[in-house]
Amino acid sequence: MLLFSRRVSRVLAAVSVHSKFATPPGGIKMSTKAHSDSQEATKKLRDAGLLLSRALIGDKWCEAFDGRTITVSNPATGEFLADVPFMGRKETELAITVANEAFPVWSQKTTAERSKLLRNWFDLLIEHKEELGRLMTLEQGKPLKEAIGEIVYAAGFVELYAEEAKRIYGEIIPAATHDKRLIVLRQPVGVVGAITPWNFPLAMITRKVAPALAAGCTIIVKPSEFTPLSAVAAAKLALQAGIPPGVLNIVIGDAPQIGGALLESTKVRKITFTGSTQVGKKLMEGSAATVKKVSLELGGNAPCIIFDDANIEVAVRGALAAKYRNSGQTCVCINRILVQDGIYEEFAKAFAQAVSGLHVGNGLEEGVTQGPLINPAAVAKVVSHVEDAVAKGARVLVGGKTHSLGRTFYEPTVLADTTPDMKIFCEEVFGPVAPLFRFKDEKEAVRLANDTHFGLASYVFTENISRAWRVAEALEYGMVGLNEGLISTEVAPFGGVKQSGLGREGSKYGLDEYLEMKYVCFGNMASS
Ligand code: ADP
C-alpha cells in the first residue's frame, strides 16, 4: 500500500463519498421492453459493484470538492444512469500530486512486477467482460456484442503491454575510442495526463494507461463526461488487481479546467489525447509552455477507394464494417466512398441493399446492429451534412432522415452522386451516412483521397496486387486497409499523419511514447 504525504491524506479525508441514484426522467418515449432491459442491466451492475459514480484519486473514491455533479444518461433511452463528480482544477492538482508521489515506487518496481499486476488487471477485465459490456452499452449506446468486443479489445492492450513491459531494453553503442563505453537506458517519462473521448469508453483508455504503466509512469485519466462509468469501473478492477493506489487516477468534470491543470503542471511530463483536432491543437499549444511530450490521435476523413477490379462482395462487406461500426462514430470510420465509374452502379445497388438490412435500436436488444448516436447534437450534425448534400444534388439511396425511434437515432444512409463541393467531403460526419463519390482512374482516386488535411485511416478494394501496393504507398495516411474494413488491433501501430495526430498507439511502438532515452557515457575506461 502506498503512503501519501500528510497534506494529500488530509485533503482526501475531507472528500465526502456517498452514492445517489434517481429514477429516469419522464417525458422520454421508450418501449416498456427497453426500459426493463435497462433497469435490469443497471441492477446487475450495481450488484456486481461496477456501477460507481465517483472519481478515483489515490485509493479514495471522490466527489468534487464543491459537491457539483454531472448526469450521465443512456443515449438510447434518455434514462438517468448516475450523477458523477464535476471536478475542476483543484481536484486535478490533487490527482497530480498523488500520481507524482506514486511515481518513484511504481517506476522502481521491476518490469516483471509491473507485468504481473497488468496481467492481473487483464484477467479481471476479461472475467467481467459481460458486465463491463453492458455498462458500456448503457452509457455509450453501442450494441452489446460490439461493446463486449470493445472490452476484449481494451483488455488486449493490457495483456500486450504486460508482455512488452519485459522487453524495455537498453542498448550498448560501439564507441569510436577505446576508453569509452556508450549506453542507452530507457526510462519512464514521468506523470502522464490522458484525455479520452466517448466513442470507445474503455479501449481509448487502456491503449494509453497500459503502455504508460508498463513503462513505469503513473497517470491521471480524464474520460469523456458522457461516458465516465466504464473508466471508473475499470479503475476499480485495476485496484483489485493490485495496481497500487495513485498509479492510476480518474478525474471527471470540467474539461478546460482539468486540461488546464494538467498542461500547467511541471510535474506532468506527457499529455496523451484522443479526440477532436480542434482540442488536440489546443493541448499541443498548451504543452509548449512546459515542453511536454505529446501524443495526439485526432480526427480523420477516411477514404475508401473501390476500383473496377474489386471483388464486390468483399468490398460491400468491408465498407459496411468500416462505415457503420459504432453507428459511424469512430475516427477510422469511412467518411468518403470513392467508386470507379465501371463498378459504380453495381456497387451502389449492392451496398444500399446491405445497408437496408442493418437493424437500428437499443443496443441491449438482441439482433440490434446500430445503436443511437451519442446525443441530439450528433444527430443535428448528421442532419446538416445530409441536407447540404441533398441540396447540392445528392440522391438518397437508403435512409436520409432521423429514425422513428427519435431523439438520438438516425437511419443508416447511403447517398449517391455526391461531389467534392459538399460538406461531407471535407468534414467528418461521425454518423451512419455513406456518400458515394465517382472517379475515373487511379490517379484521380489518389488525388481525391489525399485532398484533405487529415490522414488517419484509409481503405482500398482491388484484386490487382500491383495497384494495391502502389496506392497504399501513395496514400497520405497512417493506416491502410487493403480489401479489409476492420484494421484496428492492439498488436499494430495505430495513428495518423497530417492533422490526424502525432505518435502511435498499440504494438511495441506504443511503448516508446512513454519512455525517454538516457545516454550514459562511461569515460576513461582504457587505463588500468
Ligand atoms: P469529441 O467531439 O469526440 O467529444 P472532443 O475533442 O471535444 O471530441 O473531446 C474529447 C475529450 O477532450 C473529452 O474528454 C473532452 O471532455 C475533452 N476536452 C474537450 N475540450 C477540452 C479542453 N479544452 N481541454 C481539455 N480537454 C478537453
Report the pLDDT value the prediction gives residue 42, as an integer from 0 to 100.
Answer: 83
Beta strands in 443-507 (DSSP E): 457-461, 479-482, 501-502
Query: Phi-psi region for residue 190, left (φ > 0), alpha (ψ -120 to 50) or beta?
Result: left
- % of the chain exceeding 90 in pLDDT: 90
Centre of ligand 1 from the C-alpha of residue 251, in Å: 14
Higher pLDDT, 45 or 128: 128
Distance CA 206, CA 226 (A): 18
Centre of ligand 1 from the C-alpha of residue 277, in Å: 10
Distance CA 61, CA 254 (A): 18
Return the axis-axis angle of helices 255-264 and 277-287, rounded to nearest 10°. 30
Q: Dihedral of the CA atoms 362, 366, 368, 374 (nearest 10)?
A: 30
Compute the mean pLDDT over every residue in the chain, rounded to the nearest whole number.
93
Query: Which residue's alpha carbon is at the smallest distance from atom 19 of ligand 1?
Result: 255
Ligand 1: list residues with CB < 6 Å: 195-198, 222, 224-225, 255-256, 259, 275-276, 279, 282
The residue-averaged pLDDT of 410-438 equals 97
What's the full length of the chain, in residues?
528
Atom of ligand 1 nearest to the CA of 258: 25
Report the pLDDT value the prediction gives residue 20, as an integer from 0 to 100.
Answer: 32
> Which helix (H) or strand (E) element contains residue 111?
helix 111-127
**pLDDT tens string 459-475:** 999 999 999 999 999 99
Quickly count: other Cβ atoms within 10 Å of residue 414's Cβ. Answer: 27
**pLDDT tens string 448-457:** 999 999 999 9
Distance CA 78, CA 409 (A): 12
pLDDT at 19 over 70: no
**pLDDT tens string 113-154:** 999 999 999 999 999 999 999 999 999 999 999 999 999 999
Ligand 1 pocket test, pick from 139, 252, 279 with the greatest ligand atom count within 8 Å of Cβ, gives 279
Report the pLDDT value the prediction gives residue 40, as an integer from 0 to 100.
Answer: 80
**pLDDT tens string 246-278:** 999 999 999 999 999 999 999 999 999 999 999
Catalytic residue among 101, 131, 297, 513: 297
**pLDDT tens string 366-422:** 999 999 999 999 999 999 999 999 999 999 999 999 999 988 999 999 999 999 999
Ligand 1 pocket test, pick from 263, 276, 277, 282 with the greatest ligand atom count within 8 Å of Cβ, gives 276
Report the pLDDT value the prediction gives residue 183, as an integer from 0 to 100.
Answer: 98
**pLDDT tens string 196-213:** 999 999 999 999 999 999
Centre of ligand 1 from the C-alpha of residue 266, in Å: 22
Q: Phi, psi at residue 17, to the nearest 5°?
A: -130, 120
Centre of ligand 1 from the C-alpha of residue 278, in Å: 9
Atom of ligand 1 nearest to the CA of 259: 25
Atom of ligand 1 nearest to the CA of 274: 10
Assess contact for 459 and 484: CB atoms under 8 A. Answer: yes
Q: Using the 8-state DSSP alphabet, how is residue 504 labeled?
A: -
The mean-pLDDT minimum among 49-53, 344-348, 386-390, 490-494 falls in 49-53
CA atoms within 13 A on the CB side of 330: 24
| 516 among known catalytic residues | no
Quickly count: other Cβ atoms within 10 Å of residue 357's Cβ. Answer: 10
**pLDDT tens string 304-324:** 999 999 999 999 999 999 999
Centre of ligand 1 from the C-alpha of residue 375, in Å: 15
For residue 388, count CB atoms less than 10 angstroms from its CB and return exposed for 0-12, middle for 13-18, buried for 19 or more.
middle
Q: Compute the radius of gyration of the chain from its Cα atoms.
A: 24
Confidence of residue 4 (pLDDT cuts 50, 70, 90): very low
All three cell numbers of 120, joined, read 492481473
Ligand 1 pocket test, pick from 205, 224, 382 with the greatest ligand atom count within 8 Å of Cβ, gives 224
Q: Phi, psi at residue 215, to the nearest 5°?
A: -70, -20
Atom of ligand 1 nearest to the CA of 276: 6
Centre of ligand 1 from the C-alpha of residue 307, in Å: 37
Q: Using the 8-state DSSP alphabet, how is residue 452 labeled?
A: S
Query: Which residue's alpha carbon is at the smallest distance from atom 23 of ligand 1?
Result: 256
Atom of ligand 1 nearest to the CA of 195: 14
Centre of ligand 1 from the C-alpha of residue 44, in Å: 30
**pLDDT tens string 59-83:** 999 999 999 999 999 999 999 999 9
- Helix (H), strand (E) counts: the chain: 17, 20
Single-letter amino acid, residue 509: Y
All three cell numbers of 503, joined, read 505518435
Ligand 1 pocket test, pick from 195, 230, 264 with the greatest ligand atom count within 8 Å of Cβ, gives 195
Atom of ligand 1 nearest to the CA of 262: 25
- % of the chain exceeding 70 in pLDDT: 93
Centre of ligand 1 from the C-alpha of residue 88, in Å: 14
Report the pLDDT value the prediction gives residue 142, as an integer from 0 to 100.
Answer: 98
Assess contact for 430 and 458: CB atoms under 8 A. Answer: no
Higher pLDDT, 33 or 501: 501
Quickly count: other Cβ atoms within 10 Å of residue 155's Cβ. Answer: 27
Confidence of residue 31 (pLDDT cuts 50, 70, 90): low
Query: Which residue's alpha carbon is at the smallest distance from atom 26 of ligand 1?
Result: 255
DSSP 321-366: HHHHGGGG-STTSEEEEEEEHHHHHHHHHHHHHHHHT--BS-TTST
